Structure 1
C-alpha cells in the first residue's frame, strides 16, 4: 500500500500535536478535528487542515464515531490515528472505520475486543500460562455474589470496572464493610464513564511495582518489544511520573517479561503499537503478574522513544500501511535513561482537584536532553470539559541520576501562569530520597506527608515563610501591583484595559524592578486582578485583596463561634452526578452528601457538621468552583432559629473530603 498521503488525527491536546508533528515530518497531509472549545487550540493551527466536529462536550464531538468518520470521508483521509483516550480502544469505532474504507491506525477487532474487556483479557492470558493476580472476573456477578467471593480472593481487594481504563472507578477495600460501599460507587462511575458497570475484583498487591512493556507487531507475523517502562509513581491509580528502563529489573527478568508481553500480543493477532502491563513484586522482582493490555499508544511513550531512538507514531503508521517491521528484536538497544512528568491543571493544595482558567503565560523549558509534549498556548482557556493533563516534560540522560537532575531543572524552568498546576508537587516528588534511590511502589505518593503531597518546596520551611512580605514571590507581586497602580494613576489606558499582561522583572529599570529579584521572573496579571509570579522555579498566585469579602468571612466565622462552615461548596467546576442524600435527610459529620464530576473525575462533597441536609442543586446541574451546593443545618441552629437561608459567604476551611476516582486517558 505504501505510506498514507492524508491522515486524520481523532484527538486533541498534546497527543494530537505530537502525532501531527510526525505526520508532517513524513510529508503526510495532517487533518485535525476540533470541538467548539478547541477552535483556537495549537493542534488545529499546526495541522494542514481542520474540521469542526461539534460542541465542547466530548460525547458530542471527540467521542462520536459518526462525526469522526464523516470528517475523514469529507477530507479524503485514508487513515485515522486515534491517539489515546477517547475512541482509541473502541472496537465499534474500529469497525466503523473499516466499513467506511478507512484504515484505523491500531489493532484489529480481536485485540480490541479481547483486551478491551479486563475480565476476558485476564482469562485469555491465563489460559496461555501467563501468571495473573488472584481475583473474581464473572461478567454477570452481582454485588452480593462479589461480596460472597471476596473472602476467597483475600483482602485488601481492588475493585475495577471491566470496560474502562485510566484508574477511573477503581477503589481499594480493606474489609467487607468497605467493599459494600465501594461496589455501588465503582458501578456508578463505570456506568457513567464507559456505559458498562461490570466489575471485577483482584487481590490488591501491597507495595507493588507497575511495569509495562512496549510491543510492536506487524501484519507479517513479526512481534518485538522495546523494553519496559516503570510507572510505579501513581496517585490514586493514576500515573504521574514514568521512566525507562525500570531501576528494578535485571537483564534476565527484562528478557522474560518482554517475551511474555510478545506472547500476549501474538495471542490476539496484535497489530501496531501496544503495551502489556504487569505488577511486579518489589521483594521478588522475578515474579510478575499480568494486569491488562492497552491497545494503543501510551501517554508515557516518549521515554521509550528517547532510550531506543524509535518514533512509535511513525511505526504505527508504517504498520497500518502494511509495511514490514524494519526493526528486529536484536536491533533494539536501550541507551541511557529517560523520565517523564505529567503536568496537570490541578491544585495539590485542594486535594489535587482539577483547576481551570486562562493561560496568561506559557514558556516551555529547553536544554540538552529535554523534550516537551504540550498542546497549550497563551490565551487558551483550560476548561472542565476534558482531561486535566496539559503537558508532559521529559528528560533523557546518560544515567538515571542525570535524567532526574535534568527533569527537575526543566520543571523549574517551566512557566505556566493563570491556572494552578502540580509542577511544585512534581519537583518535591523527584527530590524524595526513595525516588532518587529507585525504591518505588504504587503507594509511595499516597503515603507522603500532607505538606509534601501538596508540593511544598523543600526550602519553603524557612524563617522567611513566616513573613509573606519577605518572600521573593510576594516582593515581585507587590512591585507589579505598584507598577499597575502608577500606570493607572498616570492614565495609561492600555495598561488599565488589558485583561492580562506579562512582564520580565530586571534590576535595570524594567517593570517591577523595585522587587530587586533580577530578571529571573515572569509576572502576569489575570482578568480578576490576581498577580501570578514565576521566580527561581517557584510559582505563586496573589489574589487582589477584597476587604469587604475578608470582613464578611471573619464575621461569619465569629457568628459560628469558630466552628466549621455549614455551607457545602463545590470543590471544582463540574456536573452534579448524584445526590447521596435527599433534601431534609439527617447527616453526620463526614458523611458524603453529593458527588460532582469534572475532567473524568468524581468527587464527593461531605458534611462538615451533623444536622439536616438542605440540597441546593439537582443531578446534571453544572456548578462553579466554590458554589454553594448544599447546607447542613446544625441541630442547635434549627432548634433556635429554624431553617437558615444560605448567604453564599466565602468559606474559611475546606469542607469537602474529595474522593477523586483516578482519571485520565490512562
Structure 2
C-alpha cells in the first residue's frame, strides 16, 4: 500500500479521499488555488501545495504543476477525484511517465470512453445495446443537421468529451438545431477543450440508471449494483438513490452484466460508472449512454447499501492488489438517497449564487452522512462548480429513507448563501417522487409556485424583531451564540429591555414598522412580536400572537442582511439602504447579470431595435451559459463587453421605448443647436 497520496482536487471529494487515507494510515497531500488557500481540505491534509490563481486553467487543470507537487512531496499515487483532471488521458499518461500511480484507468481506456462516439463503437462489439444516433466523429454542424432528419426529432446534442450536462441540449424543433449546435460547441470547448458533438434520439420519459463497476489489473470485473439518477435539472443530477425503484431483479442482473461487458471492452482498471437510459414505459429495455472513467459524485449511496468503501478499493487496485470480492459477495441492503446541495437559487431558474457562509449547519445521527467541504466564514465564488455539500441517508426501505432525508434537510442550513436546500424538501415530497414515478424531465415541469421560496409571516416577524433587537445597527453581529452583551440595555422607551437575556415591549399595543426586502420585494412589516428570548445555544424564541416560534438568526453587516433559519426553511432579508433614489436619466428596462460570471457573447449592438425575448448577452458562470433576453421591445444600449467579468445584478444593457428614445435624441439635437448658436 502507498504511504503518500496526493489528491488532485478540492472541496468535499478531497476531504472524502483524505478520510479513507487517514483510516488506512496513508499520508495525504492537498493542492489548492488562491481561492482555496483557507479551505477545509487544505487544513485537513498532512501537506498542502499551492498551484496558482483561482482560475482552474492556471491551477487545478495544470498537469505540470500537479505532477511537480506530487514529486516534491514524494507522493506515490494521485487520486483525481471527479471533475478537473479526473478523465484526462494526458494526465493519466503523465503520471505513468513520472512513475506515479494514477488512481484510475489507463490513458487508452480514458481516451476510448472519453470520446462517446468511439465508446459506442467499442461497447457495441460486446453486445451492449445503444440508442440510435450519429456514429462518425468530428461531424460539422451541417452534417449533424442532415443526420438529425434520419435519427428523428426530438434529438439530444451531446459533447463527445466530458460530462456533467455541460454542452448538452434537447432540440424538439429542427429550426432550433443550428443555434443549439453553436451554443453546445462553445460550451464543450470551454469546459473540455474539445468541441466535437454528436446526436442521439431523445428517449421519451427517460430514466437515468447507472451501474458502479470495479476492475483490477488482473482481469477481474464486478459491479456493485445500480443507482437511479433521474432527478436532474439541465442534465445535472440533483437526487440519486440506490437501488432504483424501477428495475426488477432480472433487469438488474442484465444491466449489471452489460456494465461489466462495457468495462471489459477497454481493459478497464479501477472504479467506473456505466450510464444507461431506460424508458419509463419500457423498464426492461435499456441503452448505453456513456462510461464515466472515475469515481462519481453519487458514489456514497452505493457505499451505504453495500457497506464497501470505494475509495479503499481504488487504492488497493492502484497498488496492484487483486479484488478480494467476487460478484456473489455483493449484496444491497436497505435504501440510500443522496441530495446534492448547490449554491443556486431555484426560484431564479437555478442560477448560481455566491456569498459568505455565516454558518454551516448539518445534522448528525443514525443513517445520516454529510460529505461537505464548506466551513463557516468561507466564501463561495463563481470560479468552480456550485455544489457545496452532499447529504446522504440510509434506511431499511425507500419510504423510510425519504422521511429521513426530509428530516435531515429540515435540520440543514447555510445562512449567508442562497442554496437549494428548501427546494430539495419540496422535490422529495412530490407524489411522483414518493411513488417512484420519476423521469429526467420532472424538475423541468415544475411551475413557478413549486420553485418559489417565499418567507412566511412568522419569519418576517422574527426578522423584524431582529432589527429591533439590534437597534437597527448594521454592524451588530448575530452570528453564532448570542449573549447578553449583544442586547441594548435601554429602558423607559417603546422597546424596553426586561432583562439581559430577553426583550419585551413595554406596551402590548406597540407595533413598530420595520422595512425589509426579501426576494426583491420590499415590504413594511408591522411587528407583532411581543417577546424574544435567546437561549444559551443562540436559538431565538419569539412570541407572536400568543404562539412561541423558534429560529436561528444570523446577520451580515456588509450587505445589511438578516438570515432566518427555522423548520420552515432558510430565508434572507435585507434592510433597504437609506438612499433609494434612482439614477437620473432616461427610464428603461435593464438587463441585469443574474449571477457573477463572464460575458462570452454579445448578440446585439447599441442602437439596434429588439423585440421582447430577443437574446442580448450570454453570460457564463460555473461552466454553464445563460442567455439573457430583452425584457421589452425597444432600442437597446449595450454596456457589456465580451470577455469581461461581471458581478451580480450588474447592468449589462438597457432597452428603452422607441418613441422615448426618439424624443430624447430630438432633445439632444435641439440642445446642440442652441449651444452652437450661443457660441456664434
- TM-score w.r.t. the length of structure 1 is 0.89
Shift of 1:421: 0.3
Counterpart Cα distance in 2 of 1:193 and 1:508: 51
Shift of 1:547: 4.8
Counterpart position of 2:564 = 533
Contact 2:542–2:548, Cα closer than 8 Å, also in 1: no
Larger RCO (CA within 8 A; separation ≥ 6): 1
Counterpart Cα distance in 2 of 1:283 and 1:371: 34
- Superposed, 1:352-363 pairs within 5 Å as 352-363=350-361
Shift of 1:499: 9.1
Secondary structure in structure 1 of the residue aligned to 2:230: strand
Which of 386, 389, 393 is the aligned partner of 1:388? 386
Counterpart position of 2:239 = 241
Contact 1:35–1:55, Cα closer than 8 Å, also in 2: yes
Counterpart Cα distance in 2 of 1:618 and 1:54: 26
Counterpart position of 1:650 = none
Counterpart Cα distance in 1 of 2:95 and 2:220: 24
Contact 1:595–1:602, Cα closer than 8 Å, also in 2: yes
Counterpart Cα distance in 2 of 1:379 and 1:518: 30
Counterpart Cα distance in 1 of 2:655 and 2:162: 35
Contact 2:479–2:553, Cα closer than 8 Å, also in 1: no
Counterpart position of 2:305 = 307
1:134 equivalenced with 2:108 (yes/no): no
- Superposed, 1:75-94 pairs within 5 Å as 75-94=73-92
Counterpart position of 2:573 = 542
Distance 1:164 1:518, change over 3 A: same
Counterpart Cα distance in 2 of 1:500 and 1:163: 44
Which of 580, 585, 589 is the aligned partner of 1:566? 589
Contact 1:579–1:593, Cα closer than 8 Å, also in 2: yes
Contact 1:233–1:240, Cα closer than 8 Å, also in 2: yes
- Superposed, 1:412-491 pairs within 5 Å as 412-454=410-452, 465=456, 471-485=457-471
Contact 2:87–2:294, Cα closer than 8 Å, also in 1: yes
Counterpart position of 2:628 = 605
Contact 1:503–1:523, Cα closer than 8 Å, also in 2: no
Counterpart position of 1:108 = 106
Counterpart position of 2:498 = none
Contact 2:589–2:656, Cα closer than 8 Å, also in 1: yes
- Superposed, 1:220-235 pairs within 5 Å as 220-235=218-233
Counterpart position of 1:270 = 268
Distance 1:304 1:380, change over 3 A: same
Counterpart Cα distance in 2 of 1:316 and 1:309: 15
- Superposed, 1:173-252 pairs within 5 Å as 173-252=171-250
Which of 148, 160, 164 is the aligned partner of 1:162? 160
- TM-score w.r.t. the length of structure 2 is 0.87
Secondary structure in structure 2 of the residue aligned to 1:582: coil
Counterpart Cα distance in 2 of 1:498 and 1:607: 40
Secondary structure in structure 1 of the residue aligned to 2:401: helix
Shift of 1:546: 2.5
- Superposed, 1:11-22 pairs within 5 Å as 11-22=9-20
Counterpart position of 2:604 = 581
- Superposed, 1:392-407 pairs within 5 Å as 392-407=390-405
Counterpart Cα distance in 2 of 1:552 and 1:530: 21
Distance 1:474 1:381, change over 3 A: same
Shift of 1:129: 1.9
Counterpart Cα distance in 2 of 1:76 and 1:519: 56
Counterpart Cα distance in 1 of 2:67 and 2:227: 33
Counterpart Cα distance in 1 of 2:108 and 2:269: 10
Shift of 1:515: 4.7
Bigger mean CA deviation after superposition, 275-284 or 509-518: 509-518
